[in-house]
Amino acid sequence: MNLSAFNLPANLVAKADPELIQPDEVHFAMIERSLESSIAELTEQLEAERKAPGGQGQAALERDQEIHRLSARLRALRRFGLDLCLGYMITASEDADPMIDQAEPVYIGRFGLTDGSGRRLLLDWRAPAAEPFFGATHANPMGLLSRRRYRWTRGRVTDYWDEVFTPEGLKNRAALDDQSAFIASLADNRSARMRDVLGTIQADQDAIIRAGSRGALVVDGGPGTGKTVVALHRTAYLLYSDPRLEHHRGDVLFVGPHQPYLNYVADVLPSLGEEGVQTCTLRDFVPEGATAITELDPQVVALKTSAELLKAIDSAVALYERPPTEGMLLETPWADVWLSAADWAEGFDAAEPAAAHNEARDQIWDAVIRILLDKLRDAFDDWQDDVDEFDACAIASEDQESRMRRALAGNRELVRSFGKAWPLLEAAEIVGDLWSVPAYLRMSAPWLSSEQLSALRRPEGSPWTDADLPFLDAARLRLGDPEASRRRQRQAAAAEAGRNRMSEVVRDAIANDDSEMQVMSMLRGQDLRAALVDQDAVSGPDPDLLAGPFGHIVVDEAQELNDAQWQMLLQRCPSRSFTIVGDRAQARHGFAESWRQRLARLGFDRIEMASLTINYRTPEEVMIEAEPVIRSVLPDANVPHSIRSSGIPVRYGMSSELSGIMTDWLATHQEGVGCVISAQAPTGLQASERLRLLSPELVKGLEFDLVVLLEPENFGEGIEAAVDRYVAMTRATQQLVVLSAE
């Protein structure tokens, strides 16, 4: 390489000793050549796949998947350069003498990388063999002699730190400054997106990242302990290691607390090579979530956040799934047929038990039609005796059935009766009727008292609230997409029209075939004629990627979820395989139970606990002030221990100082992000890339260099206000300012 991979500052000149970094330079050169070769090879393969014929069916699907795989791999390799490498570890070989033999370093990367000869240049950080790189401690070296981690800035190493675990590790000429780069990285300026921290994952975090995925794993940790880091990297790890989960197929769902949080962490999973993970908030599960307002009535909140009331959805839908109790006589071109109540019941029994209401509707309709077809066939055969012999040969049994189906589908009385017995339903209509029609709610939830029925009633057309969203979601999953049934009907009609047109063409072709071999007669075969019809005449929209089912769900800030919201997630993950990340002390509405008690009550049967107790983010100056705030309402709060100091004491002042404080800070800090956290939007300030204006509810999971807590006395009283103040204070990574009202 013409340019050194190292760009160490003057105060780290000792670390620039060639004996310390020359082996790395050589290895980086090999990585660079391999990257260039891999990118060129993948680019050529991708171009060839795109030029290849698309094919049909399975061949087309496999081609698309290969294009997707190659494109994702190319994006991952182009995203990084040499900073693909996180560091290296030197392991004691079982048959080597550590005092004589020089152990070879194993370099750890974001992805695995080999050269043209198959030599491994980088070991994927998620591989089992890479675990000691993150998990080794002086108490448990895990077989390591030493370990080096790099600190990259704009593609070059600006610091590194070596850790030696045994006396023999000194033989590897380690630069014994084993915390400088790590501690410095904790104080780095923040940006609008979460910075990369893969190279600094600590042993307590890595152990949780690599834990198994059976059942529910609860990660409990206070502010700054890296819960979000663990949640994101565990997502990438499970996609790599768990055979139940397939890449890029929506098998893992990541749920965050709010949209600013998702924006903040948006780059993390792609930087780990995982672009197929669905990320969302609970509001994203239903279209109404985007505009839903906050429910303010405490009695309504108490009722709607209970999982018990969600049972009303199933009962409400079941009222629309009752077969007619009387038979009916249907007129057709061939004969009049009787559809009895028993026939109706038989057709309704054809619905698959797990089928959504609107999907089952098509199954029942097909079953009812089959019952009628059986009754019509004899009459149709008698009628067809009048058709001439040539046409009888040209019209196969499928044509007979299609004619009968078309006639039955056009019978208004049949269609009307079926529509009343099993109508297409919309989720918003079901939930809206529950809240606006007391008799409907009483039938669907007979356990409710008159007072509760009255509390839940709302005028028709009222705006949706956040408490309604679990009900809308439950109704959508129970009903299925009503448009799917309509699309299937349109597709069936289009395909039927195509077959009819093709039958006419075939008859004409056969009638006018004067060839000696009568080759057109082969078109009488139904399989051949069906192949001539475009089966994709009507295309459907993309599927609902958030509907599930998912093999694993990761939930961050899970302490905020109520019982009804948990049901939104449980319905999407039948295996109950979850990573649940949260802090009971940060629950705005309190969290009286233990994690085990709450999850067992919700239906989890396998629950493992893990705890994070070290605060890597918040300076001790801030935690000293924040700890009494939360302990005043939660004496047993899991308050983590801060491992660093910023040297900047917490500043207190009056709200009139806000404008001057922010102006001075932005002028003296060319990098970093500040945030003003207040109950009401402050006047005189405008949000920007480096200045955020947020409410306490929208800062969970975020972090800022400067936090200004504006008039915290306006947050209210009780546990909710105390939690809001505690959360807001602990978002600071460098400085906290608390400004009270005049």
- Tell me: pLDDT of 109 over 70: yes
What pLDDT is stored for residue 177 in this prediction?
Answer: 62
At 722, which amino acid appears?
A
pLDDT at residue 182, rounded to an integer? 62
pLDDT at 679 > cutoff 70: yes
Q: Which long-range contacts (CB under 8 A, 24 or more apart) does 107-111 make?
A: 107/27, 107/31, 108/133, 109/84, 109/85, 110/76, 110/80, 110/84, 110/86, 110/198, 110/271, 110/272, 110/273, 111/76, 111/77, 111/84, 111/273
Q: What is the pLDDT of residue 395?
A: 40
CATH number of 620-740: 3.40.50.300
pLDDT at 384 over 70: no
Task: Specify the amino acid at residue 175.
Answer: A
End-to-end alpha carbon distance in the chain? 62
Identify the pLDDT of residue 391. 43
* Whether the predicted pLDDT of 557 surpasses 60: yes
Going by C-alpha positions, the residue among 706, 544, 556, 650 that lies closest to residue 187 is 706
- How far apart CA 366 and CA 552 sit, in angstroms, is 35
Give burial (CB, 10 Å; 0-12/13-18/19+) of 39. middle
- 224: annotated binding-site residue? yes
The model's pLDDT over 249-290, given as tens digits with 9 standing for 90+, comes to 558 999 999 998 999 888 888 888 787 788 999 999 999 999
Quick one: tokens of 605?
Answer: 């049967």
User: What DSSP string describes 672-740?
Assistant: --EEEE-SSPPTT----SSEEEE-GGG-TT--EEEEEEE-GGGG-SHHHHHHHHHHHHTTEEEEEEEEE
For residues 368 and 413, what is the distance between their CA atoms, to the nearest angstrom?
14
The verdict on whether residue 279 carries a ligand-binding annotation is no
Give 207-285+548-610's CATH code, choosing from 2.50.20.10, 3.40.640.10, 3.90.1560.10, 3.40.50.300: 3.40.50.300
Over range 363-386, report the average pLDDT: 77
Does 470 show up as a binding residue in the annotation? no
Comparing 619 with 537, the larger pLDDT belongs to 619
Domains 207-285+548-610 and 620-740 share a fold: yes
Collect all residues with Cβ–Cβ distance below 8 Å to 623 and sequence separation of at least 6.
Answer: 615, 639, 640, 642, 730
Distance, CA of 463 to CA of 475 (rounded, Å): 17
**What token pair was written down for 289?**
């979530």
How many other CB atoms are found less than 10 A from the CB of residue 589?
A: 13
pLDDT at 392 over 90: no
Yes or no: say if 351 and 365 are a contact pair by the CB < 8 Å rule.
no
**576 in the Ramachandran plot: left (φ > 0), alpha (ψ -120 to 50) or beta?**
left
The rounded mean pLDDT for the chain is 85
Does 226 belong to an annotated binding site? yes
pLDDT band at 52 (very low <50, low <70, confident <90, very high): confident
Do 383 and 334 form a contact (C-beta atoms < 8 A)?
yes
pLDDT of 674: 95
Tokens 């606006």 locate to 436
pLDDT of 61 reads 72
Q: 599-624 pLDDT, tens per residue? A: 999 999 999 999 999 998 899 999 99
Q: In a 3-state reduction of DSSP, which class is residue 367? A: helix
> What does the block give as tokens for 362?
């098509």
Kindly state the DSSP code that residue 540 receives in the 8-state scheme: P
Q: Residue 674 annotated as binding?
A: no
* Nearest by Cα to 206 from 517, 481, 610, 554: 610
Nearest to 454 by CA among 442, 470, 471, 472: 442
Contact 321, 342 (CB under 8 A): no
pTM here is 0.82
Whether 190 and 673 have beta carbons less than 8 Å apart is answered as yes
Write out the two tokens for 459: 């005028």
Long-range CB pairs of 62-65, under 8 A, 24+ apart, other chains included:
none
CB 185 within 8 A of CB 587: no
Per residue in 83-105, pLDDT (tens digit) is: 999 999 999 765 555 444 567 89
Note the pLDDT of residue 170: 63
Show the CA angle centred on residue 324, arms to residues 323 and 326, nearest 5°: 145
In this predicted structure, the answer to whether residue 388 has a pLDDT above a threshold of 50 is no
Q: Is 227 annotated as a binding residue?
A: yes
Name the residue type at position 667. Answer: A
Please, what is the angle between helix 357-384 and helix 412-421, to 10°?
A: 160
Pick 185 or 599 by higher pLDDT: 599
Q: Residue 288, CB half-sphere, CA atoms under 13 Å: how many?
A: 23
Sequence ranges of the domains in the chain? 13-189, 207-285+548-610, 483-532, 620-740
Q: CB-based contacts of 606: which residues, under 8 Å, 6+ apart?
A: 214, 215, 216, 576
User: Model confidence over 450-500: pLDDT tens digits?
Assistant: 999 999 999 988 999 999 999 999 999 999 887 765 555 555 555 555 555
- Residue 527 confidence (pLDDT) above 80: no
**Between these two residues, 247 and 684, which has the higher pLDDT value?**
684
- Residue of 614, 597, 739 lying closest to 682 (CA atoms): 739
% of the chain beyond a pLDDT of 70: 82
Composition of the chain by helix, strand, coil, percent to 5: 50, 15, 35
